[in-house]
Amino acid sequence: MPCAPFDARRATSRFASTVPLSAGVLLDVQTFFHISDSDAGLLQTVFIGCLLLSAPVFGYLGDRHSRKATMGFGILLWSGAGLAGSFIPRQYAWLFFLSRGTMGTGSGSYATIAPTVLGDLFVRDQRTCVLAAFYIFIPVGSGLGYVLGSAVTALTGSWRWALRIMPCLEAVALILLILLVPDPPRGAAETQGEGSAGGSRSSWFKDVRYLGRNWSFVWLTLGVTAMAFVAGALGFWAPKFLLEARVVHGLQPPCLQEPCSNPDSLIFGSLTIITGVIGVILGAEVARRYKKANPRAEPLICASSLLAAAPCLYLALVLAPTNLLVSYVFLALGELLLSCNWAVAADILLSVVVPRCRGTAEALQITVGHILGDAGSPYLMGLISSALRARRPDTYLQRFLSLQQSFLCCAFVVALGGGCFLLTALYLERDWARAWQPGTGTPDSKDVDSKDLERQALLSGTGASTEEP
């Protein structure tokens, strides 16, 4: 079945990027506030830490109250904090950390609730296509952050204006949310607009208990965590790593005073946009076609892409001191393979979790993914880099090699993520059948079309439990 025409009124996006700090201005911020690599990594850790603390709260609210109002509040919070952060004086660096944390708190609402709205508006192949369109805007927004951040800094001579342009985009997102995005009943796509058929609302603790016993969700979350670990480290440190590689090759003088001219921010941002768009579309289309022949296609595709991304990232790192162009090629391939999974992983979650628990499931996945993933990976990379530099001569070559060696663990983490998706495939069919059992907030058998009835009959022989969440 081909993808249905995309309805903009039913779509939400992450066009308003939540990473304006890393968008080409990290070196300027470090120079302005006099912070080390480890402290610079802590900025991202504060952002993600606050996001993961707020995600369960927004997930609870999203499962029980107006999702549009909750997302609107989050957009106002993170855009206001981002704007305020651009006015902080040099001597109040701790306020800059606080503003980053507040931005993380606000972005937790959107990241948690938006996919569940799409899950209640579309089903099956349509949902795969719409989630692909939704997740395309993640790399687009992130890449535009790098490009706009670098361009605005170069144009104005101040990194502060790079932070002030982002709230304008976020204001547009808020207006579109209010005017165009509906707030459908939970489970409306599966029940043809009638909402969940599960009756009474379960408690939050019962939802969490159900998710902890859903092994597809557990292994999926760990796989997404590995992806978040690597994406967080790359997004924060890759522009600086590539800049120092250019210095080592003699293509650019070292940055000793702000504003730092870093063409790699523009290059990396462009790579992020291009590989992100292609990767999301490619992953969603391959999954849509392959799952007609294999019901476990989605986690197998995710596992394959991560296992292929690991050697690409490793080669991108080790070849940077000798051949910068080849390093760029392998870095682009690694980003492309990582991007193949975002929409597919989201579709897996929506298919194995009952509708009334999806907001909580998104929140828990975000929380675990950030705690073990990108909340700590930028700080860990910076900490390892600073520790290695402390034992070496203070030369640009040694600074570059320290950052390079701190990055090597990313290839290992990506391979672990591939293993987690393989384990997800083992439990996928059982948990899909359980999520479609009558009385769990999903459609009764009469609401399921013949294709789904055939699949459910096939899965009934897998020994799936009928325990309700």
Q: Is the overall model pTM greater than 0.85, yes or no?
A: no
Q: What is the pLDDT of residue 21?
A: 53
pLDDT digits (tens, 9 = 90+) for 337-396: 998 988 899 889 988 988 778 888 888 888 888 788 877 888 888 888 888 888 888 777
DSSP state of 203: P
Residue with tokens 């980003």: 335
pLDDT digits (tens, 9 = 90+) for 58-73: 888 877 778 888 888 8
Domains of the chain: 13-183 (1.20.1250.20), 205-436 (1.20.1250.20)
Amino acid residing at 132: A
Cα angle 82-89-256, degrees, rounded to a multiple of 5: 95
Q: Are 60 and 202 in contact (CB under 8 A)?
A: no
Distance of alpha carbon 371 from alpha carbon 268, whole angstroms:
26
Amino acid residing at 81: A
Q: What is the pLDDT of residue 177?
A: 82
The 10 Å Cβ neighbour count of residue 380 is 18
> Would you give the distance in Å from CA 119 to the centre of its chain?
17
Distance of alpha carbon 185 from alpha carbon 328, whole angstroms:
46
Q: What is the pLDDT of residue 383?
A: 87
How many distinct helices (H) and strands (E) make up the chain? 17, 0
Amino acid residing at 95: L
Alpha-carbon separation of residue 230 from 21, 40, 362 (angstroms):
18, 17, 20
Q: What is the pLDDT of residue 253?
A: 66
Comparing CA positions, the residue from 223, 144, 176, 280 lying closest to residue 421 is 223
Buried b / exposed e across 193-213, counting CB within 10 Å, b at 16+? eebbbbeeebebeebbebbee
Q: What is the pLDDT of residue 12?
A: 35
Distance of alpha carbon 132 from alpha carbon 346, whole angstroms:
9
Q: What is the pLDDT of residue 139?
A: 63
Where are the extended beta strands (E) located within 200-293?
none
Residue with tokens 């359980």: 434
Distance of alpha carbon 51 from alpha carbon 249, whole angstroms:
38
- The residues, any chain, with a CB within 8 Å of residue 69's CB and separated by 6 or more, are none
Low-confidence ranges of the chain (pLDDT < 70): 1-24, 37-38, 124-125, 138-140, 142-143, 146, 186-202, 253-265, 437-469
Token pair, residue 64, equals 């029980």
Q: What is the pLDDT of residue 329?
A: 92
Q: What is the pLDDT of residue 423?
A: 95
Q: Report DSSP letters for 396-435, one per residue.
A: HHHHHHHHHHHHTHHHHHHHHHHHHHHHHHHHHHHHHHHH
End-to-end CA distance of the chain: 32
Cis peptide, bond prior to residue 139, ω within 30 of zero: no
Q: Are 11 and 130 in contact (CB under 8 A)?
A: yes
